[in-house]
Amino acid sequence: MDILKLGTVVSLKKGSQKIMIVSRFPLYNENGKKGYFDYSACFYPTGLVGPAVYFFNHEDIDEIYFEGYEDSSELDFQKKVQEEMKNNVHIKLQVEK
């Protein structure tokens, strides 16, 4: 799986609003079960308004409208994450269907 960059704007299969990625592999506590999603995002174009952050996985994406900024720091981050995910101790959570 390619890791999408911060600032990437997508729509989800189960949604009608464009959202912008603000975090990758965020941890989430789901009723005492700690795990992670691939991404968290806020509404686009309004941005972060209050505590509204949406968690989802790569397979939930319907369309990618814009890909965020990439430089050498981003490429280094992606390599590091790919290595760390091999030893990940958290479960991958799923969006409710």
What is the reported pLDDT for 97? Answer: 65
Structural tokens at position 87: 């030893």
pTM score: 0.90
What is the reported pLDDT for 31? Answer: 87
Residue 1 domain-assigned (yes or no): no
Residue 97 domain-assigned (yes or no): no
Residue 13 domain-assigned (yes or no): yes
Residue 40 domain-assigned (yes or no): yes
What is the reported pLDDT for 96? Answer: 80
**CA-wise closest residue to 56 among 1, 19, 2:** 19
Per-residue pLDDT of the chain (97 residues; tens, 9 = 90+): 689 999 999 999 998 999 999 999 999 998 888 999 999 999 999 999 888 899 999 999 999 999 999 999 999 999 999 898 888 888 999 988 6
Residue 45 domain-assigned (yes or no): yes
Residue 86 domain-assigned (yes or no): yes
What's the domain range around 33?
A: 9-92
